[in-house]
Amino acid sequence: MRTILDEIESPHDIKRLTLKELSQVAGEIRDLIIQVVSKTGGHLSSNLGVVELTLGLGFVFDFPKDKVIWDVGHQCYTYKIITGRKNNFSTLRQAGGLSGFPCREESEYDVFNTGHASTALSAALGMAVARDKRKEGHHVVAVVGDGGLTGGIAWEALNQIGHLREKLIIVLNYNEMSISPNVGAISRYLTYLVSGQPYLRIKDHAKTFLKALPVIGWPLIKMSRGLEEAIKKIFFPGLLFEELGIRYIGPVQGHSLPSLIEVFEEAKNCKGPVLIHCVTKKGKGYAPAKLNPTRFHSASPFEIKSGKASSTDKRATFSSVFGSAVVKLAEKDEKIVAITAAMPEGTGLEAFRQKYPERFYDVGIAEQHAVDFAAGLALAGFKPLVAIYSTFLQRAYDQLYHDVNLMDIPIVFALDRAGIVPADGPTHQGINDIAYLRHMPNMIVMAPKDENELQHMVKSAFAYSHPTAVRFPKGKVYGVAIDKELKQIPLGKSELLREGSDLLFVFGNMVFAALEAAKKLKKEGIDLAVVNARFAKPLDEEMILRYAQTGCRIITGEEGIINGGFGSAVREVLDKNMKFDIRFKSIGLPLDIYPAAKVEQIKARFKLDAEGLAEQIREFIARTPC
């Protein structure tokens, strides 16, 4: 049985539909999103919440002539479906398939790649200014979540938007959530603006009643708009956005297509910047996601009927092991405080938040602030832990360097999702942190071989009295035995796991693949010592020089970009000690952009699994005979 959605190949097809048909399409799109994400995994809650909002934009605006930028971007599934990618939607987040985020390389409808939050306003303003300089007449729209407004760059952009007064449409999607419930004064202010959902219902009912009145209905509606603006000035004095020079429209029911279409049409006629405040509900149309939007923010494959995860793998994650270690340490040290940037569940800190709420701080999507906030706490004698995904911590590069390392402030940085990350694509790969951290003065950089070593590294990081980063991967643990007592690892000391004549020096979660590769190669007469480096900075120079003998080979392995990474650090040690005759090979990821794929697929492609390591080492040794 064909549906209305079957007939939609572009936003132009949306424009010919009636409101009743649009409403039906919204249901069909939700069904499609649920069906696909239940198999591929993906961002479910946020996408179910913006279906009507997206259809309203497609009905009113002329894409791709008009430009829309999605911030963060993970809520773009409906947009992809109505912009010619419906038939490929089943390939979402798969190798060679559709990206889970806007992607300029994928479609002319995607004008800006957004995987991190708070960037859309700046880019949209740039496009609006360029449009006017070129004397073009199209519209520029930025769809920004209320969580995205916690990022500093968003407020820098709002400051400039209010100053320049360029024609620009901002759609503020208010759903009270980023990954977790939003926090902070800005969130409270937006809640204040929409407080009293009865206000929205009364407004919609009144509008419906007035429309039914012949002749006088529409004039009364136009008159009521002026009255509504006057009432807002009384009940919401000094509206923040109005004070910034941005016209404020709202709040608007984000699931009411008539209301959305009306305000979008109104916004098109505004001469300067306008902000439309839409109220939506994450997970709308699917009860499990609506009841638990955080769990379905980035869902693994699940059973549609029950909402339960399809996987039967009950192993803990590295994140949860990390979180347990922090709680254990905090029980004995009341000076330990934990900070995260809108991701307490994702970083494993939910248990800490529940047990020590007075020592837990979620700063929202504000990584730069998180780092400097921690610096202030540390200088006052506390022991802050900053837990942020590897790819997001790079947003605070200047604060890490200027405000922490130059002063040698002891802060523990937990880099979750370090290394190869599945499905989310290039913006979420944690493959650059070794390179962007190890050159910083005073910074210590560690990575565990397994979950047991991770918990010991967390304890050690608090003891070193320097800025210390512990990087660990996304995913399930190996299942090794967990020590009951945490112990401190000697600073800069590696671990010899296997004796041999040539050195295979590996960092982090490459260790087990290296041991397996060494076992394979031993059968071929290739004898490798396998050393778990533990530290990318400081390096165990004594261990490196032990194998840096004439005729020996040294091979490094890392799950990160090799340019400036762990292998480069080892090569620098050899050069410093004038070991120029050592046959050396660095194995890691080449400098490139990595699309969505499973971790196993990426490792196999770049020969970072056991088979690939063995192959690379075999070829290297064949080309460098003693």
Peptide bond into 301 cis (omega under 30): no
Closest alpha carbon to 518 in 620, 613, 586, 603: 613
Cβ–Cβ under 8 Å, residues 556 and 566 = yes
Q: Which amino acid does the sequence have at 246?
A: I
Residues 6 or more apart in contact with residue 491 via CB below 8 angstroms? 444, 460, 464, 535, 538
Give yes or no: 553 in active site. Answer: no
* Sheet of 168-174, strands arranged across: 67-71, 140-145, 168-174, 273-279, 247-253
Question: Catalytic pick from 67, 80, 282, 553?
Answer: 282
Token pair for residue 487?
């112990």
Catalytic pick from 131, 353, 383, 395? 395
Q: Is the dihedral of CA 309, 311, 315, 319 positive or negative?
A: negative
Alpha-carbon distance of 310 to 304, in angstroms, equals 9
| Active site (annotated) includes residue 367 | yes
Q: What are the E-state strand segments in 156-272?
A: 168-174, 247-253
**Full DSSP string of 530-544:** EEE--EEES--HHHH
Burial of 268 per CB tally in 10 Å (0-12, 13-18, 19+): middle
Q: Is 21 a catalytic residue?
A: no
- 3-state DSSP assignment of residue 9: coil
3-state secondary structure of 136: coil
Q: Long-range contacts made by residues 83-91, C-beta under 8 angstroms, separation at least 24?
A: 83/10, 83/11, 83/107, 83/109, 84/9, 84/10, 84/109, 86/5, 86/8, 86/9, 86/32, 89/32, 89/36, 90/36, 90/39, 90/40, 91/40
Residue of 188, 193, 198, 186 lying closest to 235 (CA atoms): 193
Q: Choosing from 106, 166, 350, 367, which is the catalytic residue? A: 367
Residues 428, 417 contacting (CB under 8 angstroms):
yes
Select from 458, 468, 508 the least CA-distant residue to 488.
458
Ordered alpha helix ranges (H), 6-50: 11-14, 19-40, 45-49
Q: Among all residues, which ones are annotated catalytic?
A: 282, 367, 395
